[in-house]
Structure 1
Amino acid sequence: MAIVKMNKFTLLSIKSDKDKLLSALQKLQKVQFINLQAEEKLEDDISNKSLLKYNVGEEYEGYEQCLSKITFSLDFINKFFPEKKPLLSMLQDKKEITINELEAIVKACDWHEVYEELKAKEISLSDLDNKINSLKGEIGEMESWVSLDVAPSSFKQLKASKAILGTISKQYESNALKELEEKLNYSYVEVLQRTNQDLYILVITHNCEIELTEEILKNYGFTSFTSDIKNTPKEYIENNLRQIEEIRAEEKDIIAAVAELQDKREELLFAYEYYNNLITKLRAANNFLKTRNVIAISGWNPVDANDELKRAIEEAIGADYYIEFEQIREEEVEQVPIKLKNNKFGASFEGVIEMYSMPTYSEVDPTPILSIFYFLFFGMMLSDAGYGLIIVAAASFALYRVKDEEKRKSYKMFLLAGLSTVIWGAIYGGWFGDLPSYFGIVPPKLLDSTGDITTIFIMSLGFGIVHIFIGLGIKAYMLIKAGDIKAAIYDVLTWYITLVGILLAILGIGGKLGLIMIVVGLIGLLLTQGRSAPTVAGKIGWGVYGVYGITSYLGDIVSYSRLLALGLATGFIANALNLIISLIPSPYKYVLAPFLFVGLHTFNLLVNALGSYVHAARLQYLEFFNKFYEGGGKKFTPYSFSNKYIKIK
């Protein structure tokens, strides 16, 4: 129940064995590479050409192109025919296959032909879509002239006159029309359409008045419109709409052809994983350095996997290698990737740690303590045995269906949270609120959530005090382990004395002992909390500030009252829902009550389970972790197979 002990390895191998070596390490899945190309101390060697950066080369680009084509194919199929996932898809494991089986499947499939066919269809659809957009644009252009009952091209046949089409702003309508009527003697003016902003007009004027007409229109900001269509605008629009319908039908035929390629989706997924793994393998080489004949590899691996690593290398390339393991140096502590190792109970709660931040290599793994208190707090806040049974049943079903270890961790956590809820619900006597009482049943209980509020409140604060004291104890352990015993005394023991003294004084236990401990503790804090300040004034100021920190501890302890508040909320809301359902008059009650019961209690369960999940984590992150935990570690991510769609064994 700790952070897995790591070491650093340096591996030298013949360059020609690189592919075999990478394949072996990929199967081993217990090595995280260090990027030697980014090491500052190697820059001089690189610049002097004694060491060279390993580049992936043209092969990598080829695989990238293949992966891009496969991704396009999957996206294109999913665009029209999204993969139908079952309702309980989250309870389905990925299909498992070995890397050799995967390679055989991909080499036998015709994903290249599928891509070419889909690409051709994509180009065709794109061309058709452009045609539709062009036709729609022409329709939009002609819609304003739909009242024109002659073809615009016919105006070219006029000899002694000229037809002018265009728009002017509607605000000039009366003045423009009046002036045209007064000044033109041999012209015809027709308003074809009015909009909120513009006036669409047709003016047919004799040749002798063309200049005058154009001058008048120009004064009113006239915008001319020209077109060579040989139909009336209405006929032109109808013709374009028919063409759009024909193109839509053609598109449907192409999409129907895409539907026939849906059964190729699985082959494409296999191909994706195959090439993604090849890329992953080549990309790993970006961490290496090389000479003419040798490659240099460095990385992290668990200490207990050293022999396993050696065996994997020897099985892959024989004895032509050199490997050296180094213990973690103090200056490397922040760089070491973190892998947690806990028992089955604790491991279920590792996700809570990862949501916050992994510990650094020099810290203590808080999972064992966190798991116990998270288990207690979740159930105490949800506090209904009926709801707990539902969570247990759902989590048990999920564990029965799912084999993926990462998913199982989450489901195990909810199973344990559900068990805790059943226990606390039984203690409070809550079974879907007070449902049993409506059937004349009084379930046994140790605490009454309505009558023993003070007891539950004190118990909540008691859990908080123990939780915080354990956090301080971990801090003391870390300081003593680091050899800083004075800091353990100044920063932990003084707080223990002060807080215990306050508790004794509040509880009235031990006579004057509590008061004495408070005084001793406060004096200790005043004299030690400013010890790092360079001046006397600074030491006093920081000492006073350290004493003021007692309010933070008291606030943290009071924060645990949420264990009472959320527990009461769940029970009271459940009771209120039962009361609402019971007030439905007969005979409607017998029909509506089951549906309302399921719907309302499901809502209450989801809302309060979410609240319990969040607040149980909050008590860990804010009240517990701030006593000793810094975090900032990076999770151990070993070099392994890509498993986006398929799990490779």
Structure 2
Amino acid sequence: MAIVKMNKFTLLSFESEKEKLLSALQRFQGVQFINLQEVDDLNEDDDKKELWKDEVGEKYSIYEDNLMKIKFSLDFINEFFPEKKSMLSMLDDKKEISLRDLEENIKSNNWNQVYEELKLKERTLNELNNEITKIEGEISELSGWRNLDVSTSELVKFKYCTAVLGTVAKQYESSVLADLERELKYSYIEIINKDNQDLYLLIVVHNSELKNADEILKGYGFTSFEVDIDMPPHHCIDENASRISKIKEEKKSLKASIEKYEADRDKLIEVYEYFTNLVTRLEASNNFLKTKSVIAMCGWNLVENNNELIKVIEETVGEKYFIEFEEVKEEEVEEVPIKLRNNGFTSSFEGVIEMYSLPKYSEIDPTPILSIFYFIFFGMMLSDAGYGLVIIAAAAFALYKSKDKEKRKSYKMFLFAGISTVIWGAIYGGWFGDLPSYFGIVPPKLLDSTGDISKIFILSLGFGVIHIFIGLGIKGYMLIKAGNIKDAIYDVLTWYVTLIGAFLAILSIGGKLGIIMLVVGLVGLVVTQGRTAPTIGGKIGWGIYGVYGITGYLGDIVSYSRLLALGLATGFIANALNLIISLFPAPFKYIAAPFLFIGLHTFNLLINALGSYVHAARLQYLEFFSKFYEGGGKKFTPYKLSDKYIKITK
């Protein structure tokens, strides 16, 4: 139960063997490359270099282009025919296929033809959409002139007159009409249409008065309408609407024709994973250095896999390689990737650690201790055995459905959380609140959540003290392990003496022992907490300030009262829901009660389970980790086969 031991390897081989090596290491899935190209002295002139940066190669752009085409095809199919998934589909594992079968399937995969056909359909759809947009623009332009019962082409045939079509702002209606009638003696003015903003006018004016008419209209911001159509606008609008209907039918038919490509989705997914593997393989070269004939690789791998790694290399390139393994150096601790390994119970809670931060390689894995307290705290905060049984059933079903290792870790965590909830629910006597009492049943209980609040409060603080003391103990262990025995005494033992003395004095246990320990501890803190200050005054000042840290410990301990608060909240809300349901009058109660019970208690379960999940983690992150844990480790992410859509096995 710890951080898996890593070492660094350096691998040299002929460049001609690189592709085979990368393929074999990708199947091995056990190395994480280090980027050698970040070395500063590689920026010298080419004629002075002995090492060059490796490159992805010419095929990279081809593979990337293929990936873009395949992604387009998948997205295009999913746009019109999304993959149908049930509510339980999140429990389904990815389809598995061996690398050998995948490579065989690719040989007969007609993905490129599918892409070309789908691309043609996309172009056609775009053209149809553009045509609709264009026609709708024409309709919009003509809509205000629908009442005009003559084509614009007819209006240009007058010999001695000129017909003018256009709009002015509606607010000028009375004034523009008055000015036109007053100034023009030989004219015809007709209001074709009105809307909220504009006045649509037809003005037929004698050519001798045309200039005068233009001056009047210009003063009112007249906008002329100069569309040339050979039929009345309403006929043109109706014809365009008919054209849009036909285009939409064509689009509908075209979309229906895409349905047959649903059968190609799995083939496209397979080829996507295939080319992703090839791209990943080529991108790995961005980490390497080379000479004219030799390629240099460097990376991290598990110490226990050293022999297996050598075996893989030998099976691939024979004796055409050199490999060297190095233990982790002190200056490399920050860069070592982290892989955790714990037993079945503890590993279920690794996700809680990852949400915060993985430990550094020089730290210890806090998961074993965290898992115990998270198990206790979650159940104590949810604290209803009925809800616990529901969680157990849901988690057990998820575990039955899923074989994926990472998913199973999360499901197992909730299974254990459900077990803890049942235990604490039985201790408090809560089974869907006080539901048994409505049937004349009084379940046994060790603690009464309504009458033993003070006891539960003390129990919560007791868990807090134990939790924090263990955190301090881990800090002391880490300091002693690093050879800093004095720091362990100054920063851990003094706090143990101070806090234990304070508890004994407050609880009046052990006579004067508590007072003595408290005084000794406080003096020790004053003397030691400012030891790094350069002056005596600074040492004393920082020492006194260090004593102030006791308030932080007291605040941390009080923070564990949330174990009481959330546990009571779950129970009281459940009791209130049962009361609400019981108040419904008969016979409606007997009909509605089952539905109300399921709905209301499901809501209560979800809300309080979320609260328990968050606050159980919070107690670890703020109160526990702050005593010893730094974190900042980077997860071990080996160079491996792609698994975005399907899982490829060796």
Question: Is the CA contact (8 Å cut-off) linking 1:45 and 1:51 kept in structure 2?
Answer: no
Q: Per-residue CA shift, 1:375-430, capped at 9, x if unaligned?
A: 00000000111111111111111111111000000001000000110111111111
Aligned mates of 1:428, 1:48 — CA distance in 2: 77
Aligned mates of 1:44, 1:179 — CA distance in 2: 84
The answer for the alignment partner of 2:69 in structure 1 is: 69
Question: Is the CA contact (8 Å cut-off) linking 1:46 and 1:53 kept in structure 2?
Answer: no
The residue identity in structure 2 corresponding to 1:158 is F
The answer for the alignment partner of 1:560 in structure 2 is: 560
Aligned mates of 1:534, 1:212 — CA distance in 2: 96
Moved over 4 A (4+): 41-47
The answer for the alignment partner of 1:262 in structure 2 is: 262
Q: Does 1:488 align with 2:488?
A: yes
Aligned mates of 1:590, 1:209 — CA distance in 2: 88
- Pairwise CA distance, 1:149: 1.6
- Count of aligned residue pairs for this structure pair: 649
SS of the aligned residue for 2:156 comes to: helix
The answer for the alignment partner of 2:320 in structure 1 is: 320
Question: Is the CA contact (8 Å cut-off) linking 2:42 and 2:52 kept in structure 1?
Answer: no
The answer for the alignment partner of 2:541 in structure 1 is: 541
The answer for the alignment partner of 1:461 in structure 2 is: 461
Please say which of residues 189-198 and 256-265 is displaced more in the overlay: 189-198
Aligned mates of 1:133, 1:389 — CA distance in 2: 58
The answer for the alignment partner of 2:104 in structure 1 is: 104
SS of the aligned residue for 2:189 comes to: strand
- Pairwise CA distance, 1:483: 1.4
The answer for the alignment partner of 2:21 in structure 1 is: 21
Question: Is the CA contact (8 Å cut-off) linking 1:8 and 1:300 kept in structure 2?
Answer: yes
Question: Is the CA contact (8 Å cut-off) linking 2:57 and 2:282 kept in structure 1?
Answer: no
Q: Does 1:184 align with 2:176?
A: no
Q: Does 1:417 align with 2:387?
A: no
Aligned mates of 1:45, 1:483 — CA distance in 2: 47
- Pairwise CA distance, 1:512: 1.6
1:453-532 paired onto structure 2 within 5 Å:
453-532=453-532
The residue identity in structure 2 corresponding to 1:40 is D
| Closer/same/farther in 2, CA of residues 635 and 41 from structure 1, 3 Å limit | farther
- Pairwise CA distance, 1:259: 0.7
Aligned mates of 2:140, 2:43 — CA distance in 1: 64
Q: Does 1:346 align with 2:329?
A: no
The answer for the alignment partner of 1:118 in structure 2 is: 118
- Pairwise CA distance, 1:539: 2.6
SS of the aligned residue for 2:226 comes to: coil
Aligned mates of 1:330, 1:552 — CA distance in 2: 33
Q: Give ranges in structure 2 of 5+ residues lacking alignment.
A: none
SS of the aligned residue for 1:348 comes to: helix
The answer for the alignment partner of 1:244 in structure 2 is: 244
Q: Does 1:300 align with 2:294?
A: no
Question: Is the CA contact (8 Å cut-off) linking 1:461 and 1:560 kept in structure 2?
Answer: yes
Aligned mates of 1:73, 1:537 — CA distance in 2: 73
Q: Per-residue CA shift, 1:587-637, capped at 9, x if unaligned?
A: 112111111111111111111111100000000001001111111110000
Question: Is the CA contact (8 Å cut-off) linking 2:55 and 2:286 kept in structure 1?
Answer: yes
Question: Is the CA contact (8 Å cut-off) linking 1:168 and 1:222 kept in structure 2?
Answer: yes
SS of the aligned residue for 1:57 comes to: coil
Question: Is the CA contact (8 Å cut-off) linking 2:378 and 2:613 kept in structure 1?
Answer: yes
Aligned mates of 1:423, 1:120 — CA distance in 2: 63
Aligned mates of 2:27, 2:19 — CA distance in 1: 12
Aligned mates of 2:426, 2:47 — CA distance in 1: 71
1:123-162 paired onto structure 2 within 5 Å:
123-162=123-162
Question: Is the CA contact (8 Å cut-off) linking 1:526 and 1:543 kept in structure 2?
Answer: yes
Question: Is the CA contact (8 Å cut-off) linking 1:378 and 1:421 kept in structure 2?
Answer: yes
Among the aligned pairs, what percent are the same residue? 68
Aligned mates of 1:202, 1:35 — CA distance in 2: 76
Q: Per-residue CA shift, 1:349-373, capped at 9, x if unaligned?
A: 0000000111111111100000000
TM-score norm. by structure 2 comes to 0.98
Question: Is the CA contact (8 Å cut-off) linking 1:96 and 1:648 kept in structure 2?
Answer: yes
SS of the aligned residue for 1:349 comes to: helix
TM-score norm. by structure 1 comes to 0.98
| Closer/same/farther in 2, CA of residues 47 and 174 from structure 1, 3 Å limit | farther
Aligned mates of 2:463, 2:41 — CA distance in 1: 51
Q: Per-residue CA shift, 1:280-322, capped at 9, x if unaligned?
A: 1111111111111111000001111111111111111111110
Please say which of residues 349-358 and 197-206 is displaced more in the overlay: 197-206
The answer for the alignment partner of 1:432 in structure 2 is: 432
The answer for the alignment partner of 1:278 in structure 2 is: 278
- Pairwise CA distance, 1:45: 9.2
Aligned mates of 2:223, 2:45 — CA distance in 1: 72
Aligned mates of 2:135, 2:11 — CA distance in 1: 66
Question: Is the CA contact (8 Å cut-off) linking 2:468 and 2:624 kept in structure 1?
Answer: yes
Q: Does 1:228 align with 2:228?
A: yes
Aligned mates of 2:150, 2:522 — CA distance in 1: 100
The residue identity in structure 1 corresponding to 2:566 is L
The residue identity in structure 2 corresponding to 1:374 is Y
Q: Per-residue CA shift, 1:505-545, capped at 9, x if unaligned?
A: 11110112112222222222222222222333433332222
The answer for the alignment partner of 2:376 in structure 1 is: 376
Aligned mates of 2:539, 2:566 — CA distance in 1: 42
Q: Give ranges in structure 1 of 5+ residues lacking alignment.
A: none
- Pairwise CA distance, 1:46: 7.2
The residue identity in structure 1 corresponding to 2:147 is S
- Pairwise CA distance, 1:199: 2.0
CA RMSD of aligned residues (A): 1.2
- Pairwise CA distance, 1:47: 7.5
- Pairwise CA distance, 1:435: 0.9
Question: Is the CA contact (8 Å cut-off) linking 2:42 and 2:49 kept in structure 1?
Answer: no
The answer for the alignment partner of 1:450 in structure 2 is: 450
Q: Does 1:589 align with 2:585?
A: no
SS of the aligned residue for 1:191 comes to: strand
